[in-house]
């Protein structure tokens, strides 16, 4: 009788050793927003770049040193980019202490220019030939938006279309830096 | 086996993704170009725009830019002797085989024709042409995308769990089966050959017989 109880205990412990870690893994994974995965670049200096905007003017990150910067990677073939476009334009107009920049990702400059003429443009949109700047920022898709504080450190990378609450929260974060 | 390890790594990354900042998998792209979407269905993908086509990495400007980028990301890394020009693409493609395309599902940079993968391949070509070694190029992409970008996980840190986990689990399973099997055998033996106890009728009968034999 006591032997039978010992075997059951072994099976129970083994079963728990297998099931509990799996349940913990699922509990941790399902409890989080999959889009809220932080970038490995957060807390690190923003990669520098020197690109040209759609009007041919040279724009570098260095020229905004000391000022919080928001860099939005977008494309005209990206639906969510169009969803957040209005919020980005409005935020750029209302927050003159923050520099907003758009970087066109894997798209043609003419298409981007035509779209911005229709939808409005409150800040420079930069052409990124061969996506070198996008790779340097670890961009995996669009839209992705990087919030950089005045010291040039990436505070947060936001994946997906921005909403007003997150925009306000992140603007406050980069102003504090 | 490789696919199993990769899927296990993805599972662990999913589990640990938001708990630790040490190794993060980039989130799935919210939207990818039509080419990438087509590619995920294993259909021929549309070619990347002309300015993204690989093969032009020998341009001095591209090499200089790649130099600047890798130096900024990995200070102290120095390039070696650049390979012959006709080997650059071959070496770059080989390195690209080991890097994950960020907008595809389980495809390498070398195998994908999505703009993101083509751009990464061009960057690899520039770095190879500048004389950087595979480990430096891998380290550059890991510094930008995290270890997720490596199709073959390294054997350091928590990744040891990925490599050793299946073997440990297999051995634990064997031990469990062996333990249960032995327990069953012992029980069977107990049932088949019950040891005669001092109070059982059979044992008293045997004892009586033995006494009689001794007396003779």
3-state secondary structure of A15: helix
**C-alpha distances in angstroms, B116 versus A105, A132, B81?**
9, 10, 28
Assess whether pLDDT exceeds 90 at residue A78. Answer: yes
Which class for A86: exposed (0-12), middle (13-18), buried (19 or more C-beta within 10 A)?
exposed
User: A62 — contact with chain B (CB < 8 Å)?
Assistant: no
pLDDT band at B34 (very low <50, low <70, confident <90, very high): very low
Q: Are B98 and B141 in contact (CB under 8 A)?
A: no
Query: What average pLDDT does the segment B48-76 reach?
Result: 66
Assess whether pLDDT exceeds 80 at residue A29. Answer: no
Between these two residues, A76 and A30, which has the higher pLDDT value? Answer: A76
Query: What average pLDDT does the segment A88-105 reach?
Result: 97
**What is the 3 state secondary structure string of chain B?**
CHHHHHHHHHHHHHHHCCCCCCCCCCCCCCECCHHHHHHHCCCCCCCCCHHHCCCCCCCHHHHHHHHHHHHHHCCCCCCCCCCCHHHHHHHHHHHHCCEECCCCCCCECCCCCCHHHHHHHHHHHHHHHCCCCHHHHHHHHHHHHCHHHECCCCCCCCHHHHHHHHHHHHHHHHHHHHHHHHHHHHHHHHHHCCCCCCCCHHHHHHHHHHHHHHHC
Assess whether pLDDT exceeds 70 at residue B207. Answer: yes
In degrees and rounded to multiples of 5, residue A32 shows phi and psi of: -120, 155
Assess whether pLDDT exceeds 70 at residue B24. Answer: no
- What integer pLDDT is reported at residue B148 of this predicted model? 86
User: A102 — contact with chain B (CB < 8 Å)?
Assistant: no
The model carries a pTM of 0.69
| Whether A140 and B26 lie within 8 Å, measured CB to CB | yes
Q: Are A161 and A80 in contact (CB under 8 A)?
A: yes
Query: What average pLDDT does the segment B55-69 reach?
Result: 69
Assess whether pLDDT exceeds 50 at residue B130. Answer: yes
Residues A118-150 pLDDT 10s = 999 999 999 998 899 999 999 988 999 999 999
Option in B27, B51, B179 nearest A159 (CB): B27
Option in A14, A39, A137 nearest B24 (CB): A39
**C-alpha distances in angstroms, A172 versus A165, A169, B47?**
11, 5, 42
| Whether A132 and B18 lie within 8 Å, measured CB to CB | no
Cα(B185)–Cα(A70) distance, rounded to whole angstroms?
A: 70
Option in A38, A41, A106 nearest B116 (CB): A106
Cα(A128)–Cα(A136) distance, rounded to whole angstroms?
A: 11
Which residues from A are below 8 Å from B119, CB to CB? 106, 130-132, 134-135
| Whether A77 and B116 lie within 8 Å, measured CB to CB | no
**ipTM exceeding 0.85, yes/no:** no
| Whether A129 and B51 lie within 8 Å, measured CB to CB | yes
Pairing of strands A99-104, A69-74: parallel
| Whether B17 and A35 lie within 8 Å, measured CB to CB | no
- What integer pLDDT is reported at residue B198 of this predicted model? 55
Determine the residue among A34, A84, A133, A135 to mutate to test chain B binding: the one whose Cβ has the most chain B Cβ atoms within 10 Å. Answer: A135
Provide the shortest C-alpha distance from residue A100 to chain B (in Å): 21
Which of A8-22, A58-72, B202-216 bottoms out in mean pLDDT, i.e. has the lowest?
A: B202-216
Provide the shortest C-alpha distance from residue B90 to chain A (in Å): 20
pLDDT band at B105 (very low <50, low <70, confident <90, very high): confident
Chain A residue at shortest CA distance from B180: A7
| Whether A135 and B123 lie within 8 Å, measured CB to CB | yes
Query: What average pLDDT does the segment B208-213 reach?
Result: 81
Which residues from A are below 8 Å from B73, CB to CB? 47, 136
């Amino acid at each position: 009788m006591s032997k039978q109880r010992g075997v059951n205990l072994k099976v129970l412990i083994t079963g728990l050793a297998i099931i509990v870690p799996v349940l913990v893994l699922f509990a941790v994974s399902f409890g989080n927003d999959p889009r809220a995965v932080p970038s490995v670049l957060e807390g690190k200096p923003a990669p520098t770049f020197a690109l040209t905007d759609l009007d041919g003017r040279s724009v570098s990150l260095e020229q905004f040193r000391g000022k919080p910067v928001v860099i939005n990677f977008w494309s005209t073939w990206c639906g969510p980019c169009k969803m957040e476009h209005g919020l980005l334009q409005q935020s750029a107009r209302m927050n003159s202490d923050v520099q907003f920049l758009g970087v066109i990702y894997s798209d043609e400059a003419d298409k981007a220019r035509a779209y911005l003429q229709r939808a409005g443009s409150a800040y420079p949109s930069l052409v990124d030939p061969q996506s070198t700047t996008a790779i340097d920022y670890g961009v995996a898709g669009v839209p992705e938006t990087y919030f950089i504080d005045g010291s040039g450190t990436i505070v947060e990378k936001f994946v997906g279309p921005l909403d007003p609450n997150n925009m306000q929260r992140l603007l406050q974060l980069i102003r504090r830096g | 086996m490789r696919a199993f390890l990769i899927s296990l790594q993805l599972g662990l990354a999913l589990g640990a993704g938001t708990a630790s900042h040490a190794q993060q998998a980039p989130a799935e792209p919210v939207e990818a170009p039509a080419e990438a979407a087509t590619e995920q269905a294993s259909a021929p993908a549309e070619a990347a725009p002309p300015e993204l086509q690989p093969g032009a990495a020998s341009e001095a400007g591209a090499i200089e830019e790649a130099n600047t980028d890798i130096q900024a990301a990995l200070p102290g890394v120095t390039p070696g002797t650049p390979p012959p020009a006709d080997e650059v693409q071959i070496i770059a493609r080989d390195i690209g085989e080991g890097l994950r395309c960020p907008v595809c599902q389980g495809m390498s940079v070398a195998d994908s024709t999505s703009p993101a993968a083509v751009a990464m391949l061009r960057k690899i070509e520039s770095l190879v042409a500048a004389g950087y070694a595979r480990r430096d190029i891998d380290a550059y992409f890991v510094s930008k995308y995290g270890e997720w970008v490596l199709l073959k996980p390294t054997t350091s840190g928590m990744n040891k769990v990925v490599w050793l986990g299946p073997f440990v689990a297999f051995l634990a399973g064997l031990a469990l089966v062996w333990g249960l099997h032995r327990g069953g055998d012992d029980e069977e033996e107990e049932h088949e050959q019950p040891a005669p106890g001092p109070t059982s009728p059979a044992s008293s009968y045997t004892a009586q017989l033995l006494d009689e034999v001794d007396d003779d």
